[in-house]
Amino acid sequence: MKKIVILISGRGSNMQALLETTLPCQIAAVISNRADATGLGIARAHGVPTAVVAHLDYPDRGNFDTALAQTIDAFNPDYVVLAGFMRILGAGFVARYRGRLLNIHPSLLPSYGGLNTHARALHDGVKIHGCTVHFVTPDLDHGPIIIQAAVPVLRDDTEQTLAARVLHEEHRIYPQAIRWLCKDQIELDEQDKVLFRYRKQSSFALISPGLE
Ligand code: GRF
């Protein structure tokens, strides 16, 4: 059975969604760069091994990345899953895990890379927002897209209500992406395109605010 390692920095709700669904792979470990990440306790409660590689213990990004890679590789995973991992990883780290490193981002990439995605979407008045699972490449938040979920932005939304609507979908699409990967239904090809062996497609249109 394939193995994944999940990297977190905080709450760990995406990690929890992965722990609480059926996956065709083993979650070999959860690693955090912060010892106080809430998600670590959730992982332990599920009997998953945890480790902390605290970025503050290293003089620079290169040293941190090396220590992190050593900790990851000790679990011998097929895939490394970033789930709210709040450190930027260097080009060497990203290259080491090419095609094996996934991230989830709370926007419809390539719109709203970076932080504060929900506030920026509300500020711009977009009517559709969402989340994206993508392969990680050196281009921050712009790696090849595997799956996206779109949600309507409602008239009375606050940052919190919009975030909650998006997060609900994050918890659905991340397990799906990992199922495809672990069942060899997708891969990253040499041209950095996502190759799909999975055939089903959607013809559903989300129109927001909605037609009369
Ligand atoms: C999620 O919104 C994820 O998309 C982003 O960071 C947040 C992490 O939340 N990368 P959680 O720790 O999974 O609850």
Encode the chain (212 residues) as per-residue pLDDT tens digits.
999 999 999 999 999 999 999 999 999 999 999 999 999 999 999 999 999 999 999 999 999 999 999 999 999 999 999 999 999 999 999 999 999 999 999 999 999 999 999 999 999 999 999 999 999 998 888 899 999 999 999 999 999 999 999 999 999 999 999 999 999 999 999 999 999 998 888 889 999 999 99
Tell me if 77 CB under 6 Å of ligand 1. Answer: no
Which residues participate in catalysis according to the annotation? 105
Q: Distance from the CA of 91 to the center of ligand 1, in angstroms?
A: 22
Identify any residues that bridge with 82 across adjacent strands, giving them in sequence order: 7, 103
Q: Of 153, 135, 149, 115, which Cα lies nearest the Cα of 193?
A: 135
Q: What pLDDT does 155 receive?
A: 97
The number of the ligand 1 atom at minimal distance from the alpha carbon of 83 is: 13
Residue-wise burial string across 19-30, b where 16 or more C-beta atoms lie within 10 A, e elsewhere? beeebebebbbb
**139-168 b/e (C-beta count within 10 Å ≥ 16 → b):** eebebbbbbbbbbbbeeebeeeebbebbbe
Please give the model's pTM, rounded to 2 decimal places: 0.97
* Amino acid making up residue 65: D
Give the residue, by CA position, lying nearest to ligand 1 atom 1.
84
Question: Residue 141 — left, alpha, or beta (φ > 0 → left; ψ -120 to 50 → alpha)?
Answer: left
- pLDDT value at position 198? 82
CATH of domain 105-134+144-207: 3.40.50.170
Lookup: tokens for 157? 């939304």
Distance CA(212)–CA(208), nearest Å, equals 11
Report how far ligand 1's centroid is from the alpha carbon of 181 (Å).
20
CATH number of 1-97: 3.40.50.170
Where in the chain is CATH 3.40.50.170? 1-97, 105-134+144-207
168 with 131: CB under 8 angstroms?
no
Q: Distance, CA 157 to ligand 1 centroid (Å)?
A: 19
| pLDDT score recorded for residue 140 | 84
Strands of the chain, DSSP E: 2-8, 25-32, 50-52, 79-82, 101-105, 128-135, 145-152, 186-188, 194-196
